[in-house]
């Protein structure tokens, strides 16, 4: 029976035109090059652990084809359960989130274009576009969007999880700059979700992940593009306490410059064999060494400095990630507190010592501390709302991410156990000190973490209601097992 469903998919797609809808013909620019890695999609996954072996990979080129695939999979499952996964950029490092064993992977990599409409000043972006290509398309037109900070990050998962951009202190989260989602529902119906049409679905998609449908187009607000000042500065690891003190002052400054974005991270890799502290500075105006970062400039000596005035596409390229390793993300949030930051450094040192003693291949460790600002969601309600629930926090807080990358499958348990030790240790300390924040950024969460619960009970109830309304058979809850499911909350 299952093989029959695969045959049905192939037959159905043969009758669907590969032509893209004519709606784009009057718009200014379309970036729709097909990535080289489409020919070998399994090898192109960002996370080596996610290179699973589906029974079938289907690569649609338009929303109508996605709708056909969903209808066939749903119909086939009445005969025998036919699970599937959906891949946009494939950047989530959780096996099953964007690929599947013994099922069908809907690979959206051919849906990767960016179109700009000069009349509405909206950018229409396909789900598998990478942010680097989006910026390279919009910059020559003098326009920009608040998107991902790394060029290789895919559009779809980033926006459905919230989306932090360098512009977030100024314009809010990326998801709140989406004005319309084109969505394929479980029935195969293609609908728009915005402030006026399907407004409940519109709100739920902003943070609700893959629980409601497959988004096939994101229409985003744009703004005037100009160069940024930014790059990465590196210091010896001995300066970490100075950086944490500067970060506390930066995050609690009531007059913080809304153009100033910043990430502080501790890092070590086998490529350099150096334990360092780095700061990623990104100032969204072409102003060199702005006063917002002066406390960091005072830390000496620095080892390297790549900062300069450059376009967003160049900034994003510096944050691009390779696709040759195994990856784990984990996250925890806490109040802006020096003692809690210092505890992260103590636990980081334990992690590095263990990895240096036991790991067998190449690896890179980055542990990031960044300020989650109340300004990120200050205008969310006016834009149709989201389900993140962070408006209940009246003060900025720290969002911490452990980013572990390694080469050898035999080291999986070592790295994943140590990543768990790190974030559990931080959580335990923060809870004891009263600094723990009950919010996990979905895009940084690991498979055992529960970001949806952190949105608060009212938002969980709302998401379940929306899922039931638009997917009454629970197709995206039951046949799409990967990701963070509302039904498991």
Residue 42's pLDDT is 76
State how far the Cα of 447 lies from the Cα of 178, in Å rounded to an integer.
26
pTM of model > 0.85: yes
Confidence check: pLDDT of 11 > 70:
no
Task: Decide if 187 contacts 445 (C-beta within 8 A).
Answer: no
Alpha-helical (H) ranges within 309-456 are 312-318, 338-358, 412-433
Instruction: Give the residue from 177, 153, 200, 178 showing the smallest Cα distance to 463.
Output: 200
Confidence check: pLDDT of 30 > 50:
no
Q: At what angle do helices 63-76 and 2-14 cross, to 10 degrees?
A: 150
**H or E element in which residue 120 lies:** none
Tokens of 420: 């768990």
- Looking at per-residue confidence, does 166 or 18 come out higher? 166
Lowest mean pLDDT among 21-35, 223-237, 330-344, 408-422: 21-35
State how far the Cα of 406 lies from the Cα of 409, in Å rounded to an integer.
8
Confidence check: pLDDT of 432 > 50:
yes
Name residue, tokens 């990599």. 109
How does pLDDT run across 433-483, given as a tens digit for each residue?
Answer: 999 999 999 999 999 999 999 999 999 999 999 999 999 999 999 999 998
Q: How far is CA 185 from the centre of its chain?
A: 22
Rounded-to-10 torsion of CA 449, 452, 454, 455: 160
Kindly list the distances between the CA atom of residue 87 and the CA atoms of 14, 159, 328, in Å, as whole numbers in the listed order: 21, 14, 18
Tokens of 256: 């913080």
Alpha-helical (H) ranges within 181-253 are 199-205, 240-252
Tokens of 17: 């035109």
Confidence check: pLDDT of 21 > 80:
no
- For residue 334, give the 3-state DSSP assignment: strand
Average pLDDT of the residues in 194-210: 98
Name residue, tokens 């690929």. 99
Give the up-direction half-sphere exposure of residue 125: CA atoms within 13 A in the CB hemisphere: 38
- Tally of helices (H runs) and strands (E runs) in the chain: 13, 20
Name residue, tokens 């709708």. 67
State how far the Cα of 158 lies from the Cα of 144, in Å rounded to an integer.
17
Percent above pLDDT 70 for the chain: 91
State how far the Cα of 228 lies from the Cα of 163, in Å rounded to an integer.
19
Task: Kindly report whether the peptide bond that precedes residue 301 is cis, defined as omega within 30 degrees of 0.
Answer: yes
Percent above pLDDT 90 for the chain: 87
Cα four-point dihedral sign 374, 375, 381, 384: negative
Cβ-proximal residues to 312 (8 Å cutoff; 6+ apart), any chain: 135, 139, 144, 166, 225, 228
Rounded to the nearest integer, the mean pLDDT of the chain is 92
Q: How far is CA 431 from the centre of its chain?
A: 26
Average pLDDT of the residues in 158-174: 97
Phi and psi of 414, rounded to 5°? -60, -55
């Amino acid at each position: 029976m299952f093989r029959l469903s695969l045959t049905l998919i192939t037959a159905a797609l043969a009758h669907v035109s590969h032509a893209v809808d004519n709606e784009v013909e009057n718009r200014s620019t379309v970036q729709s090059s097909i990535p080289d890695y489409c020919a070998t999609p399994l090898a192109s996954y960002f996370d080596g652990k996610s290179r699973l072996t589906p029974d079938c990979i289907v690569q649609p080129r338009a929303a109508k084809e996605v709708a056909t695939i969903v209808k066939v999979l749903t119909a086939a499952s009445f005969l025998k359960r036919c699970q599937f996964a959906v891949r946009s950029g494939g950047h989530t490092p959780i096996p099953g989130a964007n690929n599947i064993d013994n099922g069908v992977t809907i690979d959206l990599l051919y849906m990767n274009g960016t179109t700009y409409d000069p009349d509405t000043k909206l950018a229409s972006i396909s789900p598998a576009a990478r942010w680097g290509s989006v910026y390279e398309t919009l910059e020559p037109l003098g326009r920009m969007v608040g998107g991902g900070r790394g060029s290789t990050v895919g559009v779809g998962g980033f926006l459905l999880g919230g989306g932090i951009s360098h512009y977030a202190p100024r314009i809010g989260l990326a998801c709140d700059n989406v004005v319309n989602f084109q969505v394929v529902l479980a029935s195969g119906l293609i609908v728009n979700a915005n402030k006026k049409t399907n407004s409940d679905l519109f709100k739920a998609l902003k943070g609700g992940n893959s629980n409601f449908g497959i988004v096939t187009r994101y229409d985003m607000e744009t703004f005037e593009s100009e160069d940024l000042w930014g790059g990465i500065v590196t210091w010896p690891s001995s300066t970490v306490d100075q950086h944490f003190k500067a970060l506390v002052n930066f995050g609690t400054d009531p007059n913080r410059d809304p153009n100033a974005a910043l990430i502080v991270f501790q890092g070590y890799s086998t490529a350099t064999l150096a334990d360092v502290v780095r700061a990623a500075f990104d100032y969204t105006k072409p102003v060199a060494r702005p006063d917002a970062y002066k406390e960091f400039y005072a830390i000496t000596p620095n080892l390297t400095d790549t900062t300069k005035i450059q376009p967003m596409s160049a900034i994003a390229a510096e944050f691009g990630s390779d696709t040759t390793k195994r990856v784990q993300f984990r996250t925890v949030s806490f109040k802006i507190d020096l003692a809690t930051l210092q505890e992260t450094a103590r636990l980081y040192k334990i992690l590095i010592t263990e990895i240096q003693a036991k790991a067998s291949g190449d690896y890179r460790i980055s542990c990031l501390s960044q300020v989650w600002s109340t300004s990120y969601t200050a205008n969310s309600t006016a834009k149709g709302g989201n389900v993140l629930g962070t408006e209940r926090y009246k003060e900025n807080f720290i969002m911490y991410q452990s980013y572990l990358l390694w080469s050898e499958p035999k080291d999986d348990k070592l790295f994943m156990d140590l990543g768990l030790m790190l974030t559990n240790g931080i959580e335990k300390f923060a809870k004891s000190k009263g600094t723990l924040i009950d919010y996990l950024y979905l895009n940084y969460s690991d498979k055992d973490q529960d970001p949806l619960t952190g949105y608060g009970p009212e938002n969980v109830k709302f998401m379940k209601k929306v899922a039931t309304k638009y997917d009454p058979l629970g197709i995206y809850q039951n046949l799409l097992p990967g990701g963070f499911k509302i039904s498991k909350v």
